[in-house]
A and B are shown apart, each in its own frame.
Chain A
Amino acid sequence: MQSFGYRRPGTIDEALALLQEHGDAARVLAGGTDLVIELRNRWRRPKIVIDLKRIEELRPPIREVEGRLVFTALAVMSEIVADERVQLHFPALAEAADVVGSIQIRNRATLAGNICNGSPAADTAPPLLVYGAEVVIAAKNGTRRVAVDDFIIGPGKVDLQPTELVTSIEIPISATPIAAAYTRMTRRRGTDLASITLCCGVDATGTTRLAYGSVGPRALLVIDNSGVLADPAASDEAKAPVLASMFSAASPSPKSMRAGPEYRVAMLPVLGARALRTAIERQTRVP
């Protein structure tokens, strides 16, 4: 593999100092399931790789802080799947984390990496959008918080400067819980990238939040306040046009090898209706 330097800071401050010094000549390493491939293929040519795994402040990787569930930059998919707080409050996130790659990948790949990598097919993006998650970004001159919806920009692009470090992703444990479900479409069962990723959530006020990805340059969040979708008594016929309108921004690429654009567009309302039904069922037993 190409040569590069390796640093393993013990604190967030040390990591930030390294980023300050090296800027875009540095790459941050958390799980490495994307980065090591990029390094081997020379898609990235960093001078140094900054490994976050010795930063004690980032452990434990999942913690509850002041009404929020905090996933530090070191939280890996299998920990998220197994965490009882995630299963209780954010089951759609557990469902999404559980279908990322294989077990070997899930033992290594981080939630923060999944979002920072900026893949339009990132499985965890739709549930994070539905649950209203925020990205916490540290820099030498302070910390800023950005909604995941604003953080994701486009393929491989997120709102992050070379001198900044994503330290955690946080989800508010809301007083008005969102009951949500995640689903995806793949070519085959087992390890595969998604042709559609989709999460639907409803809350007690009748708001429906729908997020979907892999059908355009980035995962999108759309919100329905009409109450029709979340209404358990409303007919499928009444819901269909509302649901269809929520997918109007989908623009799947004709160049993707995973599924044709017509197929993806046709399957969106099918997956949407399924996830909506599961979300409504779950609403009867939200914590």
Chain B
Amino acid sequence: MVRKHRFVARVLSVALMAGIGVLQVCAQGTVPPSLQGSFLQPGYITSAGQTSDAAIVKVLANTRLKLGFGYDIAAKPQSIAGAKTLVLVLGASNKGLGAAGLSLEQDIERVKSVIAEAQKNGVRIISMHTGGTARRGEASNQVIELCVPVSDVVVVVEGGNNDGFFTDLCEKAGVPLVEVASISAAGNVLKSLMAQQ
């Protein structure tokens, strides 16, 4: 009898998890109420894969939204000291890696160390993919697979998730996914996620 109850409980919990997983994929541009205003200042932006999209997110956050986030495209663990929110901008760029003098493997190690530092200090992570199809491919997928499961929310601009890659990863990891139509709309999401000062 107890065994039967355990079995039913397991089935129900799996069904519940699957349901939550599906619910994690939010309607376009919609931030789940539980996440609205839940990310604290100060924030810090870096890339995962040296994509120059990180600079675009910096302009979005600091020039347009006046969030005053710290920024280093190749941030190290010590760079995020004091930060309460880490924004990882996802995408591998050969040009970016070349300019930084890093191989993809070296940049992945850097990102791992930044994530470890964030997790150690309770820093919450927003992953953003703003480069569309141009920032997908084998190398970009490696950094996406690294960052999505450790994120508290993932924001993807239209095109980047055409193949459902982010949807699958977010469902598996139970991470909320917010899809938006444009980089500008990603700014609205970022604003909505951040706590009012």
- A, B in one complex: no
